[in-house]
Structure 1
Amino acid sequence: MLFWYRHTRSHTSDHEPEEPVDLSLRTVLKYRGALWIQLASMQDSGMYICMLRNMTSCVKISVRLEVFPPNSLCNDTLQHKISVPIQSNYTLRCPNLQHLPSNTYNVTWYYECRSNIINSYMMEVHGDEVVIYQMLTMYAGLYTCVVHYQSNGHTFHYSHGINVKAVSSKGPKQPKILNPAVGETNTVTVGKKADFVCRAFLPYLDDEQGQVWWSINNKTLEELSDSRYTSPAFRVLLNYHDDLTVERVLNVSQFNADDLSKEFRCYVHNSQGIASRAITLTEEVYIPSVELGCGLGVTLALALLLFVLYRVFWLEVHLLYRSWFGTDERDTDDKEYDVYISYARNTEEEEFVMTTLRHVLESEFGYTVCIFDRDSLPGGTVTEETLQFVSRSRRLLVILSACSAFRDGQALLEFRAGVAAMLHGASVKLVLIQFKSGNKDTTKHTSKTHTCVKELQRARIALAVVRWEGEKSTPLTSHFWKRLRLQLPVRTSVHATTNHTEHNQTAKHTHNTKQQSPETAELMMETIQHS
């Protein structure tokens, strides 16, 4: 016999009294093995006991009933969840139809509580059931069946929700390791942080979630208890119908040299199998990229700075280099004068030479200067003495202004003597000073001077051209005097010759001069005559 009882209190123990369910109430109906409470109220909540008894034994089972206020047909608490593999077929049946106290009933199906289910070639309502011929993602969701039935002359209804979830189709369910790949090498730096990534595939299994973990020398992190190793729970990268692609990272806060010899292995496991793979480690060779970058940057900046300084102060740099490393020509030749000055007489050039140029070269820079009008002896032959003076000088300084030097006989003789000495291999170097005329017709004189200078430069006769710019060139720190000093002989701070040596050189110079004067004069005169 089957009997129904109910505990008298909502929270009961096994020792609390039980009362038979009053079947005389019109809201309670016992039909076969089912107890129907029709139009349930909040007071019907509680513990119900089903007892099956015969002459020799007794079996009972407890069922808790919870009654909720009416909300809608889609009450979350009344849902039954099922999983249907993709591409498979499945039939949805409304529960408890076999226990209805009446054979007169009808069933209505709803999808997502919005509308009746629309039949299609892959799914249709067939009688009291919903037949899914081929499960697709679009068919997942909440299905609700509403049953209307007759009992004791009244019409009742109940609803039941079925939450359908689309899962991956049937197939191999063994887990797989995607990363680290076979043959992949992880580069680590000793003393720095290292992160190792384990990426795995966990196929769907009913009511089961796979596991992913790391081991070091076949020991889990819990067994090692080393604070340097941490591994947060895996995170899901991809979920395709509950087939999961997951990732779990092993963090090593400070990688030691001893860790290079350890085995770091990733494991993945579910009820269908287990897989593992170890990572291959290689030590990264430290390249001081930051230091190299900074060093290169500083080098380039310094080079740029030096280039700019050289472009701005190139004259000062050359003069400084000459004063440190230059060779004093007084130690290498037997010349008597450093500079021979050639200029046009009775012109502005003569005033410039006598008042400015001669004074600065002799008094300020310490050069020995030869000026024919000042240093020649009376009664001598002008041509011969001019040739001797030029040949005994290291530089021939020619003052040019609108080619005036070539209209003066003495200046022309001096210029031709210097050119002849250069052409015949003598150590006389020609330096031009382009003197700007102070006359009113400045443009005309300047143009003629430029023409003369260009012709001399084209013939490669002049060693250099230095331009006088009037008041701007007067200070000794002006570019004019610095450029001129670059073309004149080097003067070192300490002259490495003794008085005895100087006396011998002077004697030798006098002898050579007497011996070579006729020959030199003959050569230069020949040049002048042919000119």
Structure 2
Amino acid sequence: MMPLVFTLLCLCVLKMGGFSASVTQATVQSELQCHDWGVWSEGSVQVYDGEVAYLYCPLFSHPTLYSYNQTQNSRLSLLWYRHTHTQELEQPINLKLHKLHKDREYLWIQPASVLDAGLYTCMLRNISSCVKIGVKLEVVQKDGECDPRAKPHLNLTIPFQSERTLTCPDLNTLTLPNSTHSVSWYQSCRTTLFRSDRELKGDGLVIYRMLEPYTGLYTCVVSYQMNGRTLNFTRSINVTAVVPDVGPKVPIILNPASDQIFTVTLGSTVNLSCRVYLPHLYEEKQNIWWTVDNKTVEQLADPRFRSPEATLFSYDYGDEIKERILYVMDFSSDDLQREFNCSARNSRGFNTSRAVLRTEPYVPTLELGCGLGVTLALMLMMFVIYHVFWLELLLLYRSWFGSDERYTDDKQYDVYISYARNSEEEEFVLSTLRRVLEAEFGYSVCIFDRDSLPGGNLMESVLRCMQACRRLLVVLSSDCLCEKSISLLECRLCLYLHHTSRAPLITVRRRALSAPCGDIAELRNNSTSVRWHGARSERTDSRFWKLLRLALPLRPLALGKRLIDSTSSHSDLASVATRYTQAQTVSHSRRSKGGRGGTRHLGVRDRSGRRCEQKGRGCAICVSFQESRRIWGGVIATQWNTHLHQPVANGTTPYNMHNSNTAPGNDPGSDPSSDLCPCEPINNNLTNELQTTHC
């Protein structure tokens, strides 16, 4: 008997164990088959702390898939779970709590607190299927009775001059107790006394005539009693005024216009814009699309063509301007033959417009940019080169395009050097200035003490030497304008020649002058000034010699020494006198042929009926010049030998010679038997004019 009982007990235990294993396996299999839809994409549910909150199961937002009545017939159970950040697994919600209430597809929390925030999951399941989705609950603190930053639960548009009744959203879904409830309305969180065009009726707010001031955020607060507590339920409505649905409402295509041409570039991505004006139509969706050869982008199935959804360009009381862009990648010449149309449609009509395309002319932007960059770089480089080497460039230009003055005038020397007669200045002029100009640069230099003929009138000799030179160079120093010095005479003669015959002047300053006088200032103002910088200027390629060469006549380098030694200056001056005699003879013959109306040369004048004789030799040169009293002062009459012509009443001018050592009353020139030949003075209206004549 006992073995039989033991055997029956073992069989029962094995049977029950098999049943438990099968149930566990079925449960695991059902959990593995539960399809998770993730978190609801519409966003989280926001509720104020201490107010009533409800959660709607998003599975029923698609009636074609699930509806609450069908789930009851299919024996699908609706279960709610909660997942918090402190829990790893979903926990089933205890509906036995007084604050939690399940009503069909809603889960009510009366009231909600900060601890109730989290992720809630609604699940539909039976033995064969399972599906779930999550929805987030956010509990925020309320700023007073009304929060102006609240997210609206409903967006409502009301046409101008129309009537509309506002009802508190979700009020019908709220399971209210038998006790009474109240509804309070606010506009922009202000307790407004609704009158005139607005009135409170029951739980709603009636707007009899919609106006612009009535737009904004409306808030309704529902209050009721439950379990001895006052509970609140808050909802917000955003009211917007729109134009009425009257008049023509056909879409208007603004772009592309009838006369608009799109310029495209081959091989690039082309953007074609379609901009449409859409009049407001209540609760109606209006469409905008592109077609290529009468096919939409979806029908074309070409990856080169892409057209995103239309974007809002502007909004004006319900009237919208939307823009939709067609992107064509790697635009080719074959695409120019296609037909691109922009179309728009609503319940009132249809409109379309064709986009006209034209290739953009090729603009060599890269080539132009590179060329401009190279040009600017070259200009900058040339500017820097000219700024640094401007002297060398000027000398190079003169050597290429300059003219040699030796072939255009009858001058004997290139430069006349005037300096103070002291040991320091003489050493600089003879050892440095003369040596470099003659030996290194090939200039012919005239120095009066070296190249003048002995005897004769000093002033006339200096003047004759200066007139035989192309440039006049003055070495400035404190001693060059000493009283009764030859350097003073040279300086004043230089100024005279500059004012009368435009002789170019050059001044060389070795050091700063202690007290410059008026003559030196006038010299510097009318001359090219070059400064000697001591040891820095000794090299022939220094700035001093370059500036000096620039002021002197053009002369090629490496000419070597002069053919005639500078020490034999008397022969040079003799040749100069011979050339002047020949020039005078030619000029005299030309004037004889031309008569009195011929050209008059400076310092030479024919005297009809008289011959100039001097010890049996003809008159070679007659030199005349004039100078103001400011320059000459009063020292000429007693310092140098001059020929003074004074005008008389009948036009006849006697010839007188004054010597610095002879009194005016004992003038030997008054002797009629004098051997000196008289020369006719230049006719001038100025009185007390100093004229010097050399025959």
Same-fold call, TM cutoff 0.5: yes
Letter in 2 for 1:190: T
* Residues 84 and 164 in structure 1, CA contact (< 8 A), matched pair in contact too: no
* 1:396 Cα offset (Å): 2.7
* 1:253 Cα offset (Å): 2.7
* 1:275 Cα offset (Å): 1.8
Select which of 261, 278, 283 maps to 2:354. 278
* 1:260 Cα offset (Å): 5.1
* 1:423 Cα offset (Å): 5.9
Q: CA RMSD in A?
A: 5.3
Q: Secondary structure at the match of 2:470?
A: strand
- What is residue 18 of structure 1 aligned with on the other side? none
- What is residue 555 of structure 2 aligned with on the other side? 491
Instruction: Return closer, same or farther for 1:432/1:207 CA change in 2, 3 Å cut-off.
Output: closer
Select which of 498, 520, 528 maps to 1:453. 520
Cα distance in 1 for partners of 2:304, 2:69 equals 59
Instruction: Return closer, same or farther for 1:407/1:226 CA change in 2, 3 Å cut-off.
Output: farther
Instruction: Return closer, same or farther for 1:524/1:46 CA change in 2, 3 Å cut-off.
Output: same
Select which of 617, 623, 628 maps to 1:523. 623
Letter in 2 for 1:171: V
Cα distance in 1 for partners of 2:326, 2:297 equals 10
* Residues 324 and 492 in structure 1, CA contact (< 8 A), matched pair in contact too: no
- What is residue 465 of structure 1 aligned with on the other side? 529
Q: Deviations over 1:78-114 (max 9, x none)?
A: xxx998854234597999x9xxxxxxx8885757999
Q: Equivalences for 1:172-183 in 2 at 5 Å? A: 174-180=249-255, 182-183=257-258
Instruction: Return closer, same or farther for 1:519/1:314 CA change in 2, 3 Å cut-off.
Output: farther
* Residues 344 and 408 in structure 1, CA contact (< 8 A), matched pair in contact too: no
Cα distance in 2 for partners of 1:250, 1:264 equals 9
* 1:488 Cα offset (Å): 1.3
Cα distance in 2 for partners of 1:433, 1:131 equals 106
TM, length-normalised to structure 1: 0.61
Letter in 2 for 1:231: S
TM, length-normalised to structure 2: 0.49
Cα distance in 2 for partners of 1:232, 1:265 equals 16
Letter in 2 for 1:46: Q
* 1:279 Cα offset (Å): 3.6
Cα distance in 2 for partners of 1:309, 1:455 equals 34
* Residues 165 and 204 in structure 2, CA contact (< 8 A), matched pair in contact too: no
Give the strand-richer structure, 1 or 2.
1
* Residues 420 and 479 in structure 2, CA contact (< 8 A), matched pair in contact too: no
* Residues 190 and 254 in structure 1, CA contact (< 8 A), matched pair in contact too: no
- What is residue 666 of structure 2 aligned with on the other side? none
How many residue pairs align between the two structures?
428
Cα distance in 1 for partners of 2:550, 2:167 equals 107
Return 5+ residue gaps in structure 2 as ranges: 1-67, 76-102, 113-121, 123-153, 173-177, 227-233, 564-572, 585-617, 628-641, 644-689
- What is residue 407 of structure 2 aligned with on the other side? 331
- What is residue 171 of structure 1 aligned with on the other side? 246
Cα distance in 2 for partners of 1:145, 1:243 equals 38
Q: Equivalences for 1:151-166 in 2 at 5 Å? A: none
Q: Secondary structure at the match of 1:323?
A: helix
Residues 1:370 and 2:446 aligned together: yes
* Residues 177 and 201 in structure 1, CA contact (< 8 A), matched pair in contact too: yes
* Residues 252 and 351 in structure 2, CA contact (< 8 A), matched pair in contact too: yes
Q: Secondary structure at the match of 1:215?
A: strand
* Residues 417 and 446 in structure 2, CA contact (< 8 A), matched pair in contact too: yes
Q: Equivalences for 1:407-422 in 2 at 5 Å? A: 407=483, 409-412=485-488, 414-415=490-491
Residues 1:185 and 2:266 aligned together: no
Instruction: Return closer, same or farther for 1:345/1:262 CA change in 2, 3 Å cut-off.
Output: same
Cα distance in 1 for partners of 2:108, 2:261 equals 61
Letter in 1 for 2:252: I
Letter in 2 for 1:480: F
Percent sequence identity over matched residues? 35
- What is residue 72 of structure 2 aligned with on the other side? 46
Cα distance in 1 for partners of 2:281, 2:530 equals 97
Residues 1:389 and 2:489 aligned together: no
Q: Deviations over 1:241-290 (max 9, x none)?
A: 87654321112234445555654321112344222223455555565677
Q: Which has the higher contact order (CA 8 A, sep 6+)?
A: 1
Instruction: Return closer, same or farther for 1:226/1:239 CA change in 2, 3 Å cut-off.
Output: same
Return 5+ residue gaps in structure 1 as ranges: 1-41, 50-64, 98-104, 149-160, 437-442, 500-505
Cα distance in 1 for partners of 2:460, 2:167 equals 135
* 1:125 Cα offset (Å): 3.5
More divergent stretch after superposition (480-489 vs 198-207): 198-207
Q: Deviations over 1:218-249 (max 9, x none)?
A: 33234444433211122345678876543211
Cα distance in 1 for partners of 2:624, 2:311 equals 101
* Residues 168 and 235 in structure 2, CA contact (< 8 A), matched pair in contact too: no
